């Protein structure tokens, strides 16, 4: 609510500034209709927001001014100086109220009534002096936050991107010259600063999705009231953050889907009761982050999509051929919702159902690199799932080559990378086109080289990349080679380059050679693969039974390698201050919420800044694994290659066609399990003789660490213990030699067979030996 209020204050102020001049002009030309309209709109907006924010006095004030202005617009009243003064006084008063609201002060409503009275038609005749209620003392309010135009942020972001590229250029130059320690050090600092700035500016552009959801309650309330429906709105995950620009791009599609859900999805109360549902429908909207994507789900418990009617409509509109109906599976059928001009609602209501929209919604979402899925069960409800990237500016991409030309493909569109040489895919030439048969499925093929009109017959193509133009449209793009993964800062390219529709922009990767990012949907178009539903032949062969895969989190490790860890042992992903990690007793630990957790890292842990860590747990023991950044959650393939060497790696799996090392969960915990064997089960060790302080403070802890329950009680019967340490070697012997006694000597190289008391390994070995001799191990 505070955010809303701040937004309201900021917006009202901004408008006040711009209409201040309008008011001045209007004062001199009261007949000027456009100025009057502008002031009317302003007052009207303030009234609406004040009502929503529960500021009754402000609402009252603006309502009265609106009424007077409305009369003026309708010509019911003629502007006279007294009325104009009265309106201006109210506009001023609104400004003062904003100041008071921001400062958190009580709003002084004294004088409001006088202002309102001054609006009355007879006020001017009375000739009363208007009490303007102005406060002359201008308050200086502390600015905790400022509003920044997104354009400015974009420029800042652009500047930082330039900085990154300039740094890369510098890195190349430095590599050429011989290494100078000082320069390298300075350069490293620059690198860190740039990275930090990039992150900061990325976050500066982030906004809680709350900003997007905040308007929904009102919209739902208004539409449901208008349609005589009862809808309870549930919002979840409004603290998820994403790029401001993304929020703006999502606004229209989201509102459209919400309107549709209330209008088409949720039935009238009486109908719902007749269907055995609660009279009040539920619309739940949730957002969550998954890797570098944001998922927004809009689900209603309404009547679902009537697929029969949808198909009938699609056939009658000519969107699909009647003969194809039988070949449509459930997904294809639901996808008809996105077909231009289709709507199943018989009556066109004021709210939606005009048959325009869902196709526009989908293209808007796809334009920002997202996708939209629909699920519906007749009688149970419909849910839409929007998937959009976190940000538009940095795109994870795969670099591919055709001949000696390189191109980037957005990784989000890549479904699979298949080698053409290993026989797992078969290319079939049919009617002048090519079809790839992959695991019983046939999908159309586009050859990138041919598409780009390069002189190639495709014989050099060794790899097929399965791309998803939209959820239902997939195709295989053949290229000669897959090069590398890159995080690209993508820039728009000039029209002369974009004209073909196959490029999404340009980027400058680390190697300094300009790279073109391909537009997957554009390629499908160019290759003529984007067939209309009416012409699209289904080529499903029976699909192999879906296997339940194991989910794994893929992340970039500190040493730069891409690794994966089974999702099951990942408890949380936490951002923490790197300084919370400290090394003590040779063990690196992280203090987290009053807990000390061992840290296991496969690289150098940064000493400052924010550190992202995985909290892994085997159910009992928790460890912390710092990472450079998580990438995605994937389903592990069946095939796990054996590891290449020792370490925490269980094996190598292919994710997106690239090798990813899978962490060995067992070894991770084996090295860090807590010593939680109950004391009763530990072998017992009695320490006798010698200097008592040395025994308790030096030797005792050492033996305890080796897993023994230590006792110093001289009255204990040594024979009852598993092992006994005679610490007073060389001198008097307090106990006789027995099978379970270890003797320590104060000096190394003793002839008596005792162990030097600082020979840690020797002591451990002797204890173990005696323990084994005593029948326990």
Q: Is residue 454 at the binding interface for another protein, with CB under 8 A as the rule?
A: yes
Q: How far is the CB of 497 from another protein (least distance, A)?
A: 5
| Near another protein by CB under 8 A: residue from 432, 496, 619, 620 | 496
**Contact indicator for 718, 686 with CB cutoff of 8 Å:** yes
Q: How far is the CB of 443 from another protein (least distance, A)?
A: 24
Stretch that binds another protein, among 11-19, 299-307, 497-505, 751-759 (CB under 8 A): 497-505
Q: How far is the CB of 529 from another protein (least distance, A)?
A: 16
Both tokens of 535, joined, read: 């012409």
Site for another protein in 498-517 (CB under 8 A): 499-500, 502-503, 506-508, 512-516
Q: Which of 681, 688, 695 is nearest to 742 (CA)?
A: 688
Helix (H, G, I), strand (E, B) or coil at 296: strand
Stretch that binds another protein, among 411-419, 426-434, 450-458, 658-666 (CB under 8 A): 450-458
Q: Where are the beta strands (DSSP E) in 480-544?
A: 481-489, 503-507, 515-518
Site for another protein in 523-562 (CB under 8 A): none
Q: How far is the CB of 454 from another protein (least distance, A)?
A: 6
Euclidean distance between CA atoms 202 and 105, whole angstroms: 35
Q: How far is the CB of 164 from another protein (least distance, A)?
A: 9
Which strands make up the sheet holding 503-507, listed edge to edge?
A: 481-489, 394-402, 405-410, 515-518, 503-507
| Near another protein by CB under 8 A: residue from 493, 591, 592, 633 | 493
Euclidean distance between CA atoms 398 and 408, whole angstroms: 5
Nearer to another protein, 174 or 665 (CB): 174
Instruction: Label residue 646 exposed, middle or buried (CB < 10 Å: 0-12, 13-18, 19+).
Output: exposed
Q: How far is the CB of 603 from another protein (least distance, A)?
A: 28
Nearer to another protein, 40 or 407 (CB): 407
Both tokens of 433, joined, read: 């086109």
Nearer to another protein, 395 or 552 (CB): 395
Q: Which of 444, 407, 437, 435 is nearest to 423 (CA)?
A: 437
Question: Which residues on neighbouring strands pair with residue 298, listed in sequence order?
Answer: 285, 384
| Residue positions counted in the chain | 777
Euclidean distance between CA atoms 367 and 372, whole angstroms: 11
Residue 128's contacts (CB-CB under 8 Å, 6 or more residues apart) are 118
Q: How far is the CB of 458 from another protein (least distance, A)?
A: 15
Nearer to another protein, 514 or 701 (CB): 514
Q: How far is the CB of 489 from another protein (least distance, A)?
A: 11
| Near another protein by CB under 8 A: residue from 495, 545, 585, 642 | 495
Stretch that binds another protein, among 96-104, 314-322, 494-502, 529-537 (CB under 8 A): 494-502
Nearer to another protein, 166 or 596 (CB): 166
Both tokens of 266, joined, read: 């949720």
Q: How far is the CB of 508 from another protein (least distance, A)?
A: 6
Window 166-195: contact mask with another protein (x via CB under 8 A): x-xx--------------------------
DSSP 107: P
Q: How far is the CB of 499 from another protein (least distance, A)?
A: 6
Stretch that binds another protein, among 6-14, 192-200, 369-377, 447-455 (CB under 8 A): 447-455
Q: Which of 662, 638, 661, 652 is nearest to 439 (CA)?
A: 638
Q: How far is the CB of 501 from another protein (least distance, A)?
A: 9
**Contact indicator for 509, 399 with CB cutoff of 8 Å:** yes
The full DSSP string for 410-461 is EGGGEEEEEESSSSSEEEEEETTEEEEEETTEEEEEEEHHHHTT-S--STT-
R_g (Cα) of the chain, nearest Å:
36
Q: Is residue 521 at the binding interface for another protein, with CB under 8 A as the rule?
A: no
Nearer to another protein, 450 or 682 (CB): 450
Instruction: Label residue 15 exposed, middle or buried (CB < 10 Å: 0-12, 13-18, 19+).
Output: middle
Stretch that binds another protein, among 76-84, 186-194, 232-240, 492-500 (CB under 8 A): 492-500
Site for another protein in 146-165 (CB under 8 A): 162, 165
Nearer to another protein, 516 or 742 (CB): 516
Q: How far is the CB of 167 from another protein (least distance, A)?
A: 8
Instruction: Label residue 357 exposed, middle or buried (CB < 10 Å: 0-12, 13-18, 19+).
Output: buried
Q: How far is the CB of 452 from another protein (least distance, A)?
A: 4
| Near another protein by CB under 8 A: residue from 74, 106, 122, 453 | 453
Nearer to another protein, 55 or 529 (CB): 529
Euclidean distance between CA atoms 727 and 694, whole angstroms: 9
**Contact indicator for 273, 279 with CB cutoff of 8 Å:** yes
Rounded (5°) CA angle 369-371-374: 170
Stretch that binds another protein, among 271-279, 300-308, 312-320, 488-496 (CB under 8 A): 488-496
Helices (H) then strands (E): counts for the chain: 22, 34
Q: How far is the CB of 61 from another protein (least distance, A)?
A: 45
Q: How far is the CB of 513 from another protein (least distance, A)?
A: 6
Stretch that binds another protein, among 94-102, 293-301, 324-332, 446-454 (CB under 8 A): 446-454
Question: Which residues on neighbouring strands pair with residue 288, listed in sequence order?
Answer: 295
| Near another protein by CB under 8 A: residue from 267, 452, 564, 590 | 452
Report how far apart the first and last C-alpha atoms of the chain are (Å, whole number).
65
Stretch that binds another protein, among 27-35, 265-273, 408-416, 487-495 (CB under 8 A): 487-495
Stretch that binds another protein, among 489-497, 531-539, 618-626, 754-762 (CB under 8 A): 489-497
Q: Is residue 104 at the binding interface for another protein, with CB under 8 A as the rule?
A: no
Q: How far is the CB of 369 from another protein (least distance, A)?
A: 21
Nearer to another protein, 169 or 428 (CB): 169
How would you label 551-577 residue by residue, b for 16+ Cβ within 10 Å and e otherwise?
ebbbbbbbeeebbbbbeebbeeeeebe
| Near another protein by CB under 8 A: residue from 109, 268, 485, 491 | 491
Which strands make up the sheet holding 610-617, listed edge to edge?
A: 570-577, 610-617, 622-627
Q: How far is the CB of 281 from another protein (least distance, A)?
A: 48
Q: Which helix (H) or strand (E) holds 19?
A: helix 2-28
Nearer to another protein, 65 or 516 (CB): 516
Q: How far is the CB of 500 from another protein (least distance, A)?
A: 4
Nearer to another protein, 507 or 742 (CB): 507
Beta 629-636 vs 587-592: how paired, if at all? unpaired
Site for another protein in 389-428 (CB under 8 A): 405-406
Nearer to another protein, 506 or 576 (CB): 506
Q: Residues binding another protein: what is the number (CB under 8 A)?
A: 29
Euclidean distance between CA atoms 242 and 251, whole angstroms: 13
Quickly list H helices, 706-759: none
| Near another protein by CB under 8 A: residue from 497, 539, 596, 772 | 497
Binding positions for another protein, rule: CB under 8 A: 162, 165-166, 168-169, 405-406, 452-454, 491-497, 499-500, 502-503, 506-508, 512-516
């Amino acid at each position: 609510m505070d955010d809303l209020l701040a937004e309201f204050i900021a917006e009202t102020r901004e408008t006040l500034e711009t209409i201040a001049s309008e008011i001045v002009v209007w004062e001199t030309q009261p007949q000027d209709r456009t100025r009057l309209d502008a002031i009317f709109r302003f007052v009207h907006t303030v009234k609406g927001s004040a009502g929503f924010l529960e500021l009754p006095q402000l609402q009252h004030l603006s309502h009265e001014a609106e009424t007077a202005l409305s009369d003026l617009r309708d010509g019911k009243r003629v502007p006279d100086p007294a009325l104009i003064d009265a309106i201006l006084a109210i506009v001023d008063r609104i400004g003062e109220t904003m100041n008071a609201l921001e400062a958190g002060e009580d709003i002084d409503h004294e004088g409001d009534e006088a202002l309102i009275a001054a609006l009355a038609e007879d006020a001017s005749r009375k000739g009363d002096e208007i009490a303007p209620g102005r406060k002359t003392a201008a308050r200086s309010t502390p600015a905790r936050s400022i509003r920044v135009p997104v354009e400015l942020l974009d420029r800042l972001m652009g500047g930082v991107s330039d900085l990154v590229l300039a740094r890369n250029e510098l890195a190349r130059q430095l590599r050429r010259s011989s290494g100078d320690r000082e320069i390298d050090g300075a350069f490293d600092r620059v690198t860190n600063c740039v990275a930090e700035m990039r992150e900061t500016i990325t976050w500066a552009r982030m906004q809680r999705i709350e900003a997007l959801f905040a308007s929904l309650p009102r919209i739902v309330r208004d539409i449901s009231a208008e349609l005589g429906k009862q809808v309870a709105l549930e919002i979840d995950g409004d603290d998820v953050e994403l790029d401001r620009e993304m929020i703006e791009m999502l606004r229209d599609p989201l509102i459209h889907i919400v309107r549709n859900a209330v209008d088409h999805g949720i039935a009238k109360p009486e109908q719902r009761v007749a269907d055995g549902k609660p009279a009040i429908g539920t619309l739940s909207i949730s957002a969550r982050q998954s890797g570098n994507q944001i998922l927004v789900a809009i689900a209603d418990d309404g009547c679902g999509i009537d697929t029969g009617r949808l198909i009938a409509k699609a056939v009658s509109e000519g969107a699909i051929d009647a003969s194809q109906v039988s070949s449509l599976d459930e997904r294809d059928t639901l996808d008809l919702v996105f077909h231009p001009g289709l709507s199943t609602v018989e009556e066109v209501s004021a709210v939606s159902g005009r048959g325009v929209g869902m196709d526009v919604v989908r293209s808007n979402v796809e334009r920002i690199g997202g996708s939209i899925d629909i699920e519906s069960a007749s009688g149970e409800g419909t849910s839409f799932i929007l998937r959009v990237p976190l940000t538009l500016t940095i795109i994870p991409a795969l670099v591919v080559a055709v001949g000696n030309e390189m191109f980037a493909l957005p990784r989000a569109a890549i479904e699979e990378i298949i080698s053409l040489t290993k026989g797992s895919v078969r290319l079939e030439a049919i009617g002048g086109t090519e079809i790839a048969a992959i695991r019983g499925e046939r999908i159309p093929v586009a050859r990138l080289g041919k598409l780009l009109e390069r002189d190639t017959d495709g014989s050099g193509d060794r790899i097929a990349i399965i791309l998803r133009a939209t959820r239902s449209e997939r195709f295989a793009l053949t290229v000669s080679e897959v090069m590398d993964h890159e995080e690209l800062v993508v820039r728009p390219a000039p029209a002369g380059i974009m004209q073909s529709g196959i490029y999404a922009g340009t980027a400058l990767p680390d190697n300094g050679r300009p790279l073109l990012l391909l537009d997957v949907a554009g390629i499908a178009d160019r290759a003529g693969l984007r067939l209309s539903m009416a012409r699209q032949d289904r080529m499903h062969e029976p699909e192999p039974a879906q296997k339940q895969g194991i989910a794994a989190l893929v992340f970039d490790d500190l040493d730069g390698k891409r690794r994966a860890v089974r999702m099951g042992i990942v408890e949380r992903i936490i951002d923490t201050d790197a300084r919370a990690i400290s090394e003590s007793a040779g063990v690196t630990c992280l203090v987290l919420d009053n807990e000390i957790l061992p840290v296991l890292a496969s690289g150098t842990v940064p000493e400052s800044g924010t550190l992202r860590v995985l909290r892994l747990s085997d159910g009992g023991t928790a460890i912390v694994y710092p990472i450079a950044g998580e990438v995605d959650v994937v389903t592990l393939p069946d095939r796990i290659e054996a590891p290449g060497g020792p370490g925490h790696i269980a094996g190598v799996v292919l994710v997106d066609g690239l090798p990813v090392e899978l962490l060995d969960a067992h070894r991770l915990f084996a090295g860090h399990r807590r010593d939680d064997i109950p004391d009763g089960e530990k072998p017992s060790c009695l320490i006798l003789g010698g200097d008592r302080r040395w025994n308790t403070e030096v030797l005792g802890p050492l033996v305890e660490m080796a897993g023994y329950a230590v006792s110093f009680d001289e009255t204990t019967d040594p024979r009852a213990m598993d092992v006994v340490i005679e610490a007073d070697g060389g001198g008097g012997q307090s106990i006789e030699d027995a099978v379970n006694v270890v003797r320590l000597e104060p000096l190394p190289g003793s002839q008596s067979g005792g162990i030097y008391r600082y020979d840690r390994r020797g002591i451990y070995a002797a204890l173990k030996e005696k323990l084994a001799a005593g029948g326990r191990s």
